[in-house]
Structure 1
Amino acid sequence: MLDKTQAASLEKKAVLYRMVMPKHTCPYGLKAKYLLEREGYEVEDHHLKTREETDAFKAEHGVKTTPQVFIQGKRVGGYDDTRRFFGKSVYNPNALSYRPVAVLFTMTALMAMAASYAVSGDPFTVRAAEWFISFSMVVLSLLKLQSVETFATMFLNYDLLAKRWVPYSYVYPYAEGVAGLLMVAGFATWFSAPLALFIGTVGAVSVFKAVYIEKRELKCACVGGSSKVPLGFISLTENLMMMAMAIWMGLSWLGYFGAM
């Protein structure tokens, strides 16, 4: 492997071999080319145009994948190796991250403010806060419904009701979605508020027991069964928000706030 310090002292030229076939252009090859150019390298771009040509290249250099990057005649490696060479982070598909939930809540908050502005000219209203939680419920439901089977499998690791009655793990995504949609519309609050309060309360108790009492390290099924989101404070907050929304809308429907 070529040392980065050595390369910096030499002329910044790189040789790239990547697959560019009639029916397939390697995305990592494109990313490697862009990365090299962004780092100020002049790229000598070689296209491997057939499967035979690609296999011959791999055999010649003793590598299993393409693209392959060479700097000053020495092989750096593929796209991930090139990122490491430049001191950049490499994506780990198995790494735990709160990013999916953070992005989801950020976007639903912006959606709620946009809807509020469109209706009233003010993005910061009580209705915007209500929409934020109900939009979040709908989007979370959508993610779970992409694969109810994988969601149910992960959900059964910690949900107390699902462990006692397995069909609940399949019903949950639909219940969350229905409650969220009704809350967005402000319709049938007599049904949506108790439903959201029920699933939110069961969820909050389940997460609290699994994480804070049993000290288990689990993945949260909140954004679907294939997520890498850790089960913990964010998951608990999600359920508490659902409970708060249900109580708020239920009391509003009963006229409690209007009577004050």
Structure 2
Amino acid sequence: MHKLAILYRMVTDQHICPFGLRSKDLLERQGYQVTDHKLSSRAETDKFKAQHQVETTPQTFIDDKRIGGYDDLRAFFGMNKAGQNGTTYTPVIAIFGIAALVTLAIQLAAGAIFISVQTLLLFIAMSMVMLALQKLKDLFSFTNSFITYDLLAMRNIRYGYLYPFLEAYVGIGMIAGLSAIWVAPVSLFIGTVGAISVIKAVYIDKRELKCACVGGDSQVPLGFVSLSENLFMIGGALLMLLVKS
């Protein structure tokens, strides 16, 4: 016997509701046969909402009972609320993981089998470029978070805006093989200031903050991850100077 569900969702020439599509997909994955009612105009949508005394669409009905919108539907099936909930390390894991895979891919393409100091430097450079890109996609949001804990950015907000460009410069410079004299001091400076700032904010002042390392809108907690980013910069700078000396 089929499990039946009725779905009302907005589908017009100007707008297709993404949560309506998600609701339909979720119902089908749960084994329901869906009667899909597409509300094809704003007037039709408003009429439906007034009739059922609801404020939003989509709306799902199962066994003549209104379940509600997409989040309500997930709750009905015992699932967590959709989207990113609470703190998470997923963005950082994704960045470091992709950076590591790209580094290995470049090594393999060059015929290098063994991991060397150059491999580590390339991984650090890739990570820095990717992290800088996350910050640069919304500089205002990044700086709004960054200035709450970085000791230098607190005193000079312009440094907060400059920081992602410096990080990108170091990463790209390392990949390009620029002289350590041009790259290492910048990496050592921003890494040291960053490390001291994180240690003070998290381990001394015991403040609970969000890390701006992957952009100002992230839910990554400030702590070991951000400290690792800064230690990478310091380690990369020292390795560059060591290799070139």
What TM-score range do you get, normalising by the shorter chain? over 0.9
Alignment pair present for 1:44 and 2:56: no
1:234 aligns to what SS in structure 2? helix
Does the 8 Å contact 2:2/2:33 carry over to 1?
Answer: no
Q: Which runs of 5+ in 2 are unaligned?
A: none
Q: How does 1:58-77 map to 2 (within 5 A)?
A: 58-77=49-68
Contact 1:19 1:49 in 2 (8 A): yes
Cα distance in structure 2, aligned partners of 1:22 and 1:224: 34
RMSD: 1.5
* TM-score normalized with structure 2 length: 0.95
Q: CA contact under 8 A between 1:21 and 1:48: conserved in structure 2?
A: yes
State the 1:189 CA deviation. Answer: 1.5
- CA 1:153–1:60: 2 relative to 1, 3 Å: same
* Percent identity (aligned): 52
The corresponding residue for 1:205 is: 196
Paired with 1:121 and 1:42, the residues of 2 have a C-alpha distance of 54
Consecutive unaligned residues of structure 1, counting only runs of 5 or more, are 1-9, 255-260
What residue is the counterpart of 1:96 in the other structure?
Answer: 87
Instruction: State how many pairs are aligned.
Output: 245
Is the contact between residue 86 and residue 219 of structure 2 (CA under 8 Å) also seen in structure 1? yes
What's the secondary structure of 1:25's corresponding residue?
coil
Greater shift, 83-92 or 50-59, is seen at 83-92
Q: Which range moved further: 171-180 or 124-133?
A: 124-133
Q: For 1:72-221, what aligned pairs fall within 5 Å after superposition? A: 72-93=63-84, 95-122=86-113, 124-221=115-212
The 1:38/1:92 distance shift into structure 2, 3 A limit, reads closer
Equivalence for 2:45? 54
TM-score (structure 1 length as normaliser): 0.90
Residue equivalent to 1:6: none
Q: Partner amino acid for 1:98?
A: Y
Counterpart AA for 2:17 = C
After the TM superposition, list the runs of 4 or more consecutive aligned residues in structure 1 that deviate by more than 4 angstroms. Answer: none
User: C-alpha displacement at 1:14, in angstroms?
Assistant: 0.5
Following superposition, the deviation at residue 90 of structure 1 comes to 1.3
Question: Bigger CA drift: 43-52 or 91-100?
Answer: 91-100
| 8 A Cα contact 1:190 1:253, kept in partner | no
Residue 243 (structure 2) aligned to one of 243, 246, 252: 252
SS at match of 2:110: helix
